[in-house]
Amino acid sequence: MLIIFDLDCTIMAYYDGFVNYFKNQGLEPNYYNYELTRETYSFETMYNKSREEIIEMIEEFNVSRQFANLTDFLSDSQYGRIIDISVNHDIRYITACGDNYSTRELRYKNIRNSGLLFNDNVTFLPLGSNKNEAIIELMREYSYKSTY
């Protein structure tokens, strides 16, 4: 059985890492918008910046040491469940953090640090890509492999 995990803001604590990275550089988020946007991840609203400016900030963060050291926010029972299912299932990860070499290496590092890298089956998409099509393609590939 194929199990796909989305790494962006579901397993890895990207949002908090991003905010803390820019706080350390003196860029404070608009705290009124902080809680409102925590659910929608609208960095444009939280920082009162244009989409283009936010993309530049994300690109900077995604090649930083803090990106490599993102923590996961799984409970012990969730972590244990992933470990258990990895024994008999094909675990894949998907991320739209960017597909350049530096970002890929740093993403591998934060998955390894969390203890969740069971293989190199990570699908890297360009920054901000919609993952739905890639997930469907992974499911097709797996289905094709499983029948032969």
Residues 16-39 pLDDT 10s = 899 999 999 999 888 665 555 555
- Per DSSP, the three-state class of 89 is coil
- Per DSSP, the three-state class of 133 is helix
DSSP state of 8: B
pTM over 0.85? The answer is no
In whole angstroms, what is the distance from residue 114 CA to residue 99 CA? 20
The structure tokens 């739905």 sit at 132
**Phi, psi dihedral angles at 115 (to 5 degrees):** 80, 15
Q: Who has greater pLDDT, 133 or 40?
A: 133
